[in-house]
Amino acid sequence: MAGIEALVFDFDGLVLETELPVYESWRREYEQLGVELPFATWLETIGTADHDFDPLTHLEELIGRKLDHASLQERRKLYRDSLLHAQETLPGVRDWIRDARAAGLKLGVASSSSRAWVLGHLARLGLAEHWDTVRCSDDVERTKPDPALYRLACADVAVDPARAVALEDSANGVRAARAAGMRVIAIPGPLTRQMDFGEADLVLESLAHATLAEGLGQLAR
């Protein structure tokens, strides 16, 4: 396994395609009010909770009036969840988890989302029991691209970051893992494909396009 002792997975867009449903739920609200959600601005928020963009405030600024926050959020989240619950684990994820366990690797999750969000979805997908550690925004002062989440995950499993691999779908996540001293495999999603993944050690179209052994073998080369 090329000297690797741990895999640390991002969650949103890597284990489960949550990013597109969240984006679509906001885009729909903008569209219904006759304005456009700026995609370039939205792209900067993916993979991090440390940003200043509030879509609700921005939407009110565009239309020039206040909105009923509670009813809008209730309607938006219902639509988001209808899209989310139609999603399955992304291709190859279960295979990589299975193979990592068989190889004796430690497994972690490092996510800029809340613990309730991540653990809730992992439980729904039947994946909650696979992890040696799960670190989320609740655990750190700053999320990705700050390396704190990845450093904590590696410390939890007592593995030197240099002997751990992060699996990421966003540029913010890649930067965080690199800053933590890890190697990084990027798997861009529908919203993140246009990001610059030049800092990643390896880019895969999906985890289904290589086995764990093949992916780590490519890293070694």
Gap between the Cα atoms of 209 and 197, Å rounded:
18
Q: Which domain holds residue 60?
A: 19-84
Q: Is the domain of 38 the same as that of 67?
A: yes
Q: What per-residue confidence (pLDDT) applies to 220?
A: 84
Per-residue confidence band for 176, with pLDDT thresholds at 50, 70 and 90: very high
Last residue of some domain: 59, 84, 109?
84
Q: Is the domain of 99 the same as that of 148?
A: yes
**Mean pLDDT across 7-36:** 96
Q: Is the domain of 115 the same as that of 207?
A: yes
Residue 1 is assigned to a structural domain of this protein: no
Q: What pLDDT, in 10s, does the model give residues 33-44?
A: 999 999 999 998
Which residues sit opposite 133 in a β-bridge? 108
pLDDT for 67 beyond 70? yes
Helices (H) and strands (E) in the chain, counts: 9, 6
Cβ–Cβ contacts within 10 Å for residue 193, how many?
A: 10
The CA R_g of the chain, rounded to the nearest whole Å, is 18
Q: Is 126 left (phi over 0), alpha (psi -120 to 50) or beta?
A: left
Last residue of some domain: 30, 61, 84?
84
Phi/psi of residue 7, nearest 5 degrees? -115, 135
Residue 181 is assigned to a structural domain of this protein: yes
Residue 41 is assigned to a structural domain of this protein: yes
Least confident range from 128-137, 171-180, 188-197: namely 188-197
The residues annotated with a catalytic role in the active site are: 10, 12
Q: Is the domain of 127 the same as that of 186?
A: yes
Last residue of some domain: 58, 84, 110?
84
Per-residue confidence band for 51, with pLDDT thresholds at 50, 70 and 90: confident
Ranges assigned E (strand) in the chain: 6-9, 106-110, 133-135, 164-168, 183-186, 202-203
Q: What pLDDT, in 10s, does the model give residues 75-100?
A: 999 999 999 998 999 999 999 999 99
**Mean pLDDT across 127-155:** 97
Q: What per-residue confidence (pLDDT) applies to 1?
A: 65
Number of structural domains (the chain) is: 2
Q: What pLDDT, in 10s, does the model give residues 133-146?
A: 999 999 999 999 99
Q: Domain containing 194 — which CATH number?
A: 3.40.50.1000
Q: What pLDDT, in 10s, does the model give residues 189-217?
A: 999 998 999 999 999 999 999 999 999 99
Structural contact between residues 164 and 13, judged by C-beta atoms closer than 8 angstroms: no
Q: Is the domain of 78 the same as that of 115?
A: no
Q: Is the domain of 80 the same as that of 94?
A: no
DSSP string, 6-32: EEEE--BTTTB--HHHHHHHHHHHHHH
Q: What per-residue confidence (pLDDT) applies to 49?
A: 83
Q: Is the domain of 79 the same as that of 157?
A: no
Gap between the Cα atoms of 171 and 173, Å rounded:
5
Residue 199 is assigned to a structural domain of this protein: yes
